[in-house]
Structure 1
Amino acid sequence: MSQPAQATERTHRLVPSPAGRIHLVEQGTGPLVLLLHGFPESWYSWRHQLPALAAAGYRAVAVDVRGYGRSAKPEDTAAYRMLDLVEDNVAVVHALGERSAVVVGHDWGATTAANTALLRPDVFRAVGLLSVPYAPRGGPRPGEIFARMGGDEEFYVSYFQEPGRAESEMEPDIRGWLAGFYAAFSGDTMPAPGAPDPHFIGRGGRLRDRFPSGKLPAWLGEDDLDVYAGEFERTGMRGALNRYRNMDRDWADLADFDGAPIPQPSLFIGGALDASTTWLADAIEAYPTTLPGLVSSHVLDGCGHWIQQERPDEVNRLLTGWLAALPA
C-alpha cells in the first residue's frame, strides 16, 4: 500500500529571517513542528523524523540553523547569540504563514528549543528536548565553569572558544574529522570505559587524537557522511563553532530568566551512554520544578548522543505519541 503524498514528498525552501535567510526542509500538512539540529549537523539529522511526522498528520519543518548549510552566515561572532536564534525560529513560523508551533531540538538545538519556548510562549506551545536536558540559566559564567573542567586537560567547549583554533584542526580534513566525532559519541563506536575521554584535549594535542578510527557508527552510512561533509566543506566550520563562542553573552542576555521554569507541555529523550544525560543527571532530577509541564521523560538504554539517528523508530514513536496527546 502506497503512502500518502504528504508522507513522501520533501520540499526545500528559503525564508526571510533576522539572519538574512533560513533554509528549511518541510514535509506534510497539519500542525507545525519545528525541528532544530545541533553541532555539527544540519536539517539532514531529522531525515528519519520528517516522513514519520508527516505520516502522523503534522507539518514537519527541519531548518539549517544560522551558520549552517544554506542558511545565512553573519560575519559577526555576536550574531550567533541565543536571542538571535530564537528570533530566527519565530521568523520561520511567521514566514510559513503560521501563528504557533511545537519546537523540538537535539543537542544545541535542544538548548535553543528550550530558550525559544521560554522566551516566546506566545508562539511555541510545546517543547521537545533530545539528548541535552533543560538546565535554567544560573550560576557562574559558563566560560569560568568550563575553564575549570578537566584539570591538566582542556574541555572541548573551551577549545572551541578562540576563533580559528578549532577550525584549523577540522577544515583540512572535514570528512575524516566528522566521521571521528560522530563515532566518538555514538553508542556502538564510542571509546571503551576507562579510555581517554574525547570531550577533553591533552596538553598540546588535538580533539581528534581521541576519536575512534576505521569504523563508522551503524546509523551513519557513507552517503550520509557525504551529505554532512559536503555541507561543511562548502561553508567551513566557523558559523557552527560561533554558537559556542556566545555562551557567556547568552548568560548575560538571559539574566532576567535566572532559574526560570518552562511551563509548556514538554518531552525529554536522552541516551543512557550520552555524557549530556549522565553529566546533567541533576538537571533531569529537577524537571518537576524546571519543566512543570513535562509529559514524559525517557532514557534509551545503549544509546549515545545522536539519538534521533541512532534510534529513529523509537524516537519517532515517542515523538508522535507525545504530539498526539498535546492539547489542540
Structure 2
Amino acid sequence: MKQTQIESNGITLNVVEEGEGPAVLFVHGFPDGWRGWRGQMAAVAAAGYRAIALDMRGYGGTSKPEDPALYTVFYCVGDLVGVLAELGIEHATLVGHDFGATVSWSAAMMRPDLFDAVFCLSVPPVLPGGPSMLERLKSAGKEDDFYMFRQMRPEADQEWADAATTLPGMLYWTSGLPDASEAWDPMDPDKSLNRPSPIGIPPFANREDVEAAIAGFERDGFHGPLNTYRAMQPYFDEAKAFAGAKIRQPAFFGFGTDDGMVRMRAFKEGDITSVVPNLKGFLPIEGVGHWPQLEAPEIVNEALVGFLGSPVIR
C-alpha cells in the first residue's frame, strides 16, 4: 500500500492506495477509518483497479477541525474532489458506508462529471428537499429518543471517550450478532450504541485494525467524528439548491437486514429508485447488521467487483 498526505480544502488528508487501474474511492463512516475498507481494497486491487481510501476529516491521520460547521456534507464532498485533483484522477467510482454513504450519494449528485458510479452500504440516499429526518423527528417529540440527537450534544465527546470500551461495543451492538431483543435500536436509549461489548472486539472485525482505531481515538478523541452529526441539519438548511435532484449514475445499494436503522426506516427498493433511477443492484444481506463489509466481506466483495466490471460503468 502507498500512503500519501494530501493538502486540500484547507486541511491535510491521509490517503492510502493499492493497485493500478480505474480509480475506486472508498469513503468510511462513523466511527471508522480507511482501515475498515482493507478487505475491499485488496479485492478491488486484485481485480485490476486503483483502490483509494482516506481518513475522513476528524479521523486518523487527517486533520480534525474543532468547528462543527466545517463538517457539513459540502466540506466532505470537497475533500473527495480534492483527492482526485491532487492525484490527477479525472473520474472515479465511489464506495461508501454509513456517513460515508451519505457523502458518496451526495458527491454523485453534486459532481457527476467526476464520479461516474456509486456503490453504497447501509445508508440509502438522503437528498435535500423538504423537512429533514431530524426535523421530522424533532417535530414529533422524539428528540430524547433518536440516537443522533444524543450524538450531537457536547457531552457526547466524553460519553465516547473510553474508546477501548465504546468502539468494540458499538461494533457488537450494531452487528447481526446480538439477539434482536437486545440489539441496537436507534429509537430506544436503553438499547444504545454506548454499551460495553459482552465479547470484546467482535470476531468479524480485524483485531489489529480495531486496536489501531482505539489508539487513535484515545489520542485524538471523538469530537471530530461526532461533528459529522452536529453538521447534518446545517447541511440540509444550506442545500436547498439541490431540492429535487436525482443521482443518475449507475448505482448499487447493499445492506444488512439486521441493521437497526434499516429496521427503523423500513425502506424498499422503490424508495431508492425514485431518486436513483439507474439503480443496478439492491442487495439485502440476511443475518448481517450495520457492517456488511466486515460481517459478510465475501458477499460484498463479489457484488462490488461485479458492479465495477459491468458494462454500464465505463
Q: Under a length normalisation based on structure 1, what TM-score does the superposition of the two structures give? A: 0.89
| Partner residue, 1:46 | 37
SS at 1:44 equivalent: helix
What is the root-mean-square deviation of aligned Cα atoms in Å?
2.1
Do structure 1's residue 168 and structure 2's residue 155 form an aligned pair? no
Equivalent of residue 199 in structure 1, options 186, 201, 212: 186
The 1:56–1:196 alpha-carbon spacing in structure 2 relative to 1, beyond 3 Å, is closer
Q: What amino acid is the match of 2:181? A: G
Instruction: Please tell me whether the aligned partners of residues 86 and 112 of structure 1 are also in contact (alpha carbons under 8 angstroms).
Output: yes
Q: What amino acid is the match of 1:124? A: F
Instruction: Flag structure 2 segments of 5+ consecutive residues without an equivalent.
Output: none
Distance 1:219 1:297 in 2: 23
Instruction: Please tell me whether the aligned partners of residues 174 and 184 of structure 2 are also in contact (alpha carbons under 8 angstroms).
Output: no
Distance 1:196 1:86 in 2: 32
Instruction: Please tell me whether the aligned partners of residues 174 and 183 of structure 2 are also in contact (alpha carbons under 8 angstroms).
Output: no
| Partner residue, 2:251 | 266
The 1:131–1:197 alpha-carbon spacing in structure 2 relative to 1, beyond 3 Å, is closer
| Partner residue, 1:125 | 116
Q: What amino acid is the match of 2:171? A: Y
Equivalent of residue 101 in structure 2, options 110, 121, 132: 110
Equivalent of residue 183 in structure 1, options 172, 193, 202: 172
| Cα deviation, residue 120, structure 1 | 0.6
Do structure 1's residue 84 and structure 2's residue 75 form an aligned pair? yes
| Partner residue, 1:219 | 204
| Cα deviation, residue 222, structure 1 | 3.3
| Cα deviation, residue 277, structure 1 | 2.6
Instruction: Please tell me whether the aligned partners of residues 147 and 154 of structure 1 are also in contact (alpha carbons under 8 angstroms).
Output: no
| Cα deviation, residue 77, structure 1 | 1.3
Distance 1:208 1:319 in 2: 28
Instruction: Please tell me whether the aligned partners of residues 166 and 194 of structure 2 are also in contact (alpha carbons under 8 angstroms).
Output: no
| Partner residue, 1:317 | 302
| Partner residue, 1:66 | 57
Q: What amino acid is the match of 1:181? A: M
Distance 1:208 1:264 in 2: 34
| Cα deviation, residue 58, structure 1 | 0.4
Instruction: Please tell me whether the aligned partners of residues 104 and 129 of structure 1 are also in contact (alpha carbons under 8 angstroms).
Output: yes
Larger mean Cα displacement after TM superposition, 249-258 or 205-214: 205-214
| Partner residue, 2:226 | 241
Distance 1:99 1:57 in 2: 17
| Cα deviation, residue 50, structure 1 | 1.1
Distance 2:309 2:171 in 1: 32
Instruction: Flag structure 1 segments of 5+ consecutive residues without an equivalent.
Output: 1-9
Do structure 1's residue 145 and structure 2's residue 130 form an aligned pair? no
Instruction: Please tell me whether the aligned partners of residues 37 and 109 of structure 1 are also in contact (alpha carbons under 8 angstroms).
Output: yes
Instruction: Please tell me whether the aligned partners of residues 163 and 218 of structure 2 are also in contact (alpha carbons under 8 angstroms).
Output: yes
How many correspondences in the alignment? 313
Do structure 1's residue 155 and structure 2's residue 146 form an aligned pair? yes
- Aligned residues with identical type, % of pairs: 36
SS at 1:243 equivalent: helix
| Cα deviation, residue 125, structure 1 | 0.6
Distance 2:137 2:197 in 1: 24
SS at 1:290 equivalent: coil
Alignment of 1:263-302 (within 5 A): 263-282=248-267, 284-302=269-287
| Cα deviation, residue 162, structure 1 | 2.0
Distance 1:93 1:314 in 2: 28
Larger mean Cα displacement after TM superposition, 109-118 or 137-146: 137-146
| Cα deviation, residue 197, structure 1 | 4.5
